[in-house]
Amino acid sequence: MSDPELVVRLADLRAMWRIRAFEEKVRELRLADAIVGSVHLCIGQEAGPVGTCTELRPDDALFATYRGHGWAMARGVPAEEMFAELLGRSTGVNGGRGGSAYFTAPEYGFHGENSIVGAGVPIAVGAALAARVRGDDRLAVAVFGDGAMNQGAVHEGMNMAAALRLPVLFVCENNGYSELTPIAAMVGEPELWRRAAAYGFTGHRVDGNDPAAVRTAVADAAERARAGEGPALLELMTQRLVGHYIGDAQEYRPPGEIEAARRTEPIVRLGAATGLTVAELDDIRDQAYAEMAAAADAALAAPPADASTAREHLYA
């Protein structure tokens, strides 16, 4: 392996460990009731955000799902401000108002999560249309799960993007389950990327556990979209190593499935590919956990959000 390749792989590994450590700390805080409300973790799906966001420009607009912590981190949102938001602290990215499912940080190109399944797609299409009107080459990216592919708003958004050849990427994180139901039980054609052809744009199925494969696919699709060649659908194949939400018993998953997924998850795979010793790999992991512990402690020390301001920044 050449030195430049090793540098990229190490950067990817560190970025994925930061997301993993953040999510595991969030789980700890939620189970201790320091964080309240529904929380959805992306443990096992870190390669998608890392591979995608390294190919995005600062002014590109990314719209995530409610499983969006990793996407926010990959866009550069500071961990302490994210913890503070989830903890309802005044120092959170939205002053403690958004919580886990709704926070946004547009100054980092992260235009928010959404608890309505698939709702980010038409919003991203609107952002792409705005870029077209302004005459710039800003890209919009909509991230959603496999279950969202069956939502009417997703169909409508994809159709509009295709008709107007808008600069938008549709990134489907296919972790095999639409909440608690296998995606194969919900569709006639389980290879979701094939739907792109019906709309008239390109689609690809990508190894979503390999940040390099994701990066390559995103780079190609982004270049074409910026050049006026229209949208693309990227189906990132991955697995989540945790439940759909914290508290999900996962009794719907076959015996041995999670154990098998742990052998092919992104951090394990990339760590083995670096050629580093066990001690060197452990050091990368330990640095990530130490960073997130410190960020969480700082967030916990911040004052709670002022409840009297709860109705501020609301629009109807």
**Domains, the chain, with CATH or none:** 3-300 (3.40.50.970)
Contact criterion met (CB below 8 Å) for 66 and 76: no
Measured in whole angstroms, how far is the alpha carbon of residue 156 from the centre of its chain? 22
pLDDT at position 2: 61
pTM value?
Answer: 0.95
Q: Which residues neighbour 166 within 8 Å (Cβ) at sequence distance 6 or greater?
A: 125, 128, 129, 131, 132, 140, 160, 225, 230, 231
Contact criterion met (CB below 8 Å) for 228 and 260: no
Amino acid identity of residue 13, one-letter, is L
The kind and range of the H/E element at 33 are none
Q: Name the stretches of the chain with pLDDT < 50.
A: none
pLDDT at position 313: 80
pLDDT at position 114: 87
pLDDT at position 310: 82
Q: How far apart are CA 48 and CA 53, in angstroms?
A: 8
Q: Which residues neighbour 274 within 8 Å (Cβ) at sequence distance 6 or greater?
A: 6, 9, 10, 13, 281
Sign for the CA dihedral angle at 182, 188, 190, 192 comes to negative
Measured in whole angstroms, how far is the alpha carbon of residue 245 from the centre of its chain? 15
